[in-house]
Structure 1
Amino acid sequence: MIADSLYSVLSALQTAAVLDPELKGELLAVLAAFCWAAGGPIYRKGLDTTDPWSGNLMRLALASLGFLALMVTQGTLSESLARVSTSIAVWLILSAFTALVLGDCLLLRSLKDIGVARTIPISSTYPLFVVAWSALFYGKETSLLMVLGTVFIVVAIKLISEPKQKLSVDASLYTKGAVIALSAAICWSISIVMLDYLTKVLPSEAVAGFRFIVSSVILSAIVSRSGFFWDKNSLMWIGIAGGLVLIVSNYAFVEAIRMVGSATVAPITSVYPVISVFVAAIFLREKLTPKVLAGTFLSFSGVMLVILG
């Protein structure tokens, strides 16, 4: 039901002629952020009975099949395959590897070393790098409002992710974990900037689908060594439900980049940890602290500044 509702919202955003294309892209970016936030509880439920590598492979494999079905339905599969030259294939592989394999592996390592509360604020700085890469490689103008909005969002995530009590983490271990988390942010930002080029030469569903296929192949090689673990619970939650959320969120994300560019999309989607806090408050009954409320205000203000910029 949730996936059907999200897909209906996505279809409505794409077909509404009254919406300006730029506004459509920004709304799709917001939709992607909400999907990522909703995915957290779903993935957590599935991971109760499987490991992260097996769970990630299940959701990526289902997402790959979903996007293949979408391309067949829309009649874009043959055309998309015909457009994939050697250079485009290289960009697809690099984009998939840096984001879904290397970036996520670095994130997992940082989470293990310094915990969620420290990793999320650092890894969520990727919009700053996206803005920098877009200006450097694509010559895109970066307004003061866009930069200020990005800073607001990063500060908001820092406030909301801050633990109630300081973590007793060894200084050297924290430094190492922080560098790894920052490296994950850089990997994601590089992959996102690559999408600027890929969405100009391939349909959005092809870009997302091909990246999932590449990542699934790479993860299959990794899981073949460590072992693949699954049961009914993990297949239902992280496999099927997680895969459906992944399809909607990534299609919305890639389509948003095609419409308005990564420099605008990245800061907007970076508020998903903020949204996750409210999802946790509603479904897990977690308390909203003053820092959470302050972070929410900064996040909203940041998104508005990015849109205005």
Structure 2
Amino acid sequence: MLKPEELKGIHIEYADKNGSYRDAKTFSVRDALTQGTHIVPKAIFSIWWDDRLGPMVGRSYPESVTLTSEEAVTIFMGHGVNQETEVGYSKIQSGLVISYMQTPSCLGILLKEGENSAAIERNLRRLIPHVNFDSDQWDKELEKAFHVLHDLMDETSGEELLLNPGVKQLIGDMMENRIEAIRPKHVMRATVRYPEAYDALGNDDAEVSRLLNDLEDEHVLISRTYGRRVECRQCGDSDLVIELQCPNCQSSDIHKVYTVFCPKCSNQFHAVIVDDLAEVTCLHCKQPVKVNELAVIDVEPLCNECGTASNDPKIIFRCATCNKQLKGADLLSGTGLAYYFNQ
């Protein structure tokens, strides 16, 4: 991280209200005060799961830092009983481990005391595309991953972060009040989006969120609560699966019976439209009709178990990661964050 005296030399180029770039503007200590120094992780581990033997300790880098079989079990359990959580946190004797699961392999990062675990997790996610999980030379693969992780942490903290052209554009827009706040836009898949930051930081939602967190770590931005979002209390994920159940017998074996309008004979008819269907046959004129040409008038779920037809089925929300049925508390447990320039 940057020391206060180092911030005085950083300049931010920003566009004025007409869209043209002004002379560089000094980024002062008052604008962004960063304290502390950059800390790097202790080590990186590879572990894999054997269906017969359980967690197996693989390689480590540096090689002087090793794992025991019991610690490997602890790390795997950090991903849930069924290994359903992508990123896990676990505490072993030598410190905190943040791990990434790509079944059957697991990559673990051992942190030093005082390390920013949230920053490590963000950069661990950035690291994954650089790792060849099918490598037959894990010694070299882990050494490379360890150094790439260090490079990623350098690029997303301190002066390197503030010199990112997209970051400079975004901060300039916020300093000039062209962007008052970077607010999330929640979609059904529970992806958090920050549209105001797209022009400056790109439209990769996950990377934009990570960069905003990086900027908050550097005290350039400050986050405040903004709305509620879905968050599974079991695994922490936000992706949803919507399931319909029969209101009579609670069966999930339900067909959706559509009342549709035939564009060829102008009659209405009933049809069951399932996935991967290209066309249906009109019950009146017997002509095939493409599904994208059908006008849906009504939908009535029909239970295949008890035969009940109902326009008011029970709607169940399940976590797409661990399949837990979400209750009211899960639907409101997540906190949205908006980011403001730290005056």
* Same fold flag (TM > 0.5): no
Which of the pair is proportionally richer in helix?
Answer: 1
TM-score of the superposition, structure 1-length normalised? Answer: 0.24
Which of the pair is proportionally richer in strand?
Answer: 2
TM-score of the superposition, structure 2-length normalised? Answer: 0.22
Larger RCO of the pair (alpha carbons < 8 Å, separation 6+)? 1
